Amino acid sequence: GESVGLHLPTLSVQEGDNSIINCAYSNSASDYFIWYKQESGKGPQFIIDIRSNMDKRQGQRVTVLLNKTVKHLSLQIAATQPGDSAVYFCAERGTDKLIFGTGTRLQVFP
Amino acid sequence: DGGITQSPKYLFRKEGQNVTLSCEQNLNHDAMYWYRQDPGQGLRLIYYSQIVNDFQKGDIAEGYSVSREKKESFPLTVTSAQKNPTAFYLCASSITSGSYEQFFGPGTRLTVL
């Protein structure tokens, strides 16, 4: 079946450094991908999305890159801050629902 | 203030009891979803509803039931048949089932003693 996976369960970065969170997906026909941020004890919040006709999309301090050749998605966070500490999920759009990955925990240390 | 709400935030129940989790949205969204999240894991889809008076099973529907009598409400009942009900439950909604972004509620943490 369809699945979305993540390479690293935990990522530790120093404050001020850039963070890169990776995600692999299996359905080459997926046309839309989304990144969510989930802080402890809260619901996921939308960060950024990208359609399959794009390779890159930038937001405020975040960039999503899509490599359809290898079915890989990444989220880059510039100048990582303590408030960025959370679990990050990628998701791909299925037929009538989103398919979520396991998540990567980002830990930011001073 | 538009949004999606879940209540209560924390819920405790004795084993063998049914419990109903509330989810309400005032975003005028057609589609609503229930997910379960266990520690260190991702989101698993329990049930979803594309429109009022209609719903479909997700990946882990056994031991759960839902209803969608009103557009803004999608309550989830965790029955005694659910073997391991202690988890964090998240409700979400989207404009339509085929649309892109889902908006999430704050979640309900259910603990069965």
Q: What is the 3-state secondary structure (H, E, C) of B55-78?
A: EEECCCCCCEEECCCECCECCEEE
Using a pLDDT cut of 90, give the percent of chain A over it: 72
Cα–Cα distance measured from residue B109 to residue A9, given in angstroms and rounded to the nearest whole number = 22
Counting one residue from chain A and one from chain B, the pairs whose CB atoms sit within 8 A come to 44
Of the candidates B74, B14, B20, B42, which has an alpha carbon nearest to the alpha carbon of residue A4? Answer: B42
Cβ burial of B40 (10 Å; 0-12, 13-18, 19+) is exposed
Parallel/antiparallel/unpaired status of strands A45-51 and A32-38 = antiparallel
B40 chain-A contacts, CB cut-off 8 A: 9
Which residues in A lie closer than 8 A to residue B41 (C-beta atoms)?
Answer: 102-103
Is the CB of residue B95 less than 8 Å from the CB of residue B103?
no
pLDDT one-digit tens code per residue, A20-60: 999 998 888 889 999 999 998 899 999 999 999 999 999 99
The whole-angstrom separation of Cα B62 and Cα B80 is: 11
CB within 8 Å: A97 and B90: no
Q: What percent of chain B has pLDDT over 90?
A: 79
pLDDT (tens digit per residue) in B22-67: 999 999 999 999 999 987 778 899 999 999 999 999 999 999 999 9
Q: Hey, of A46, A50, A64, A98, which one would you mutate to test binding to chain B, going by the most B CBs within 10 A of its CB?
A: A98
Residues of chain B in contact with residue A102, where contact means CB-CB under 8 angstroms, are 41-42
Calpha distance B94→A68 (Å, rounded)? 26
Q: What local confidence, expressed as pLDDT, does residue A101 receive?
A: 85
pLDDT at B99 over 80: no
Residue range A73-101, pLDDT digits in tens = 999 999 999 999 999 999 998 877 888 88
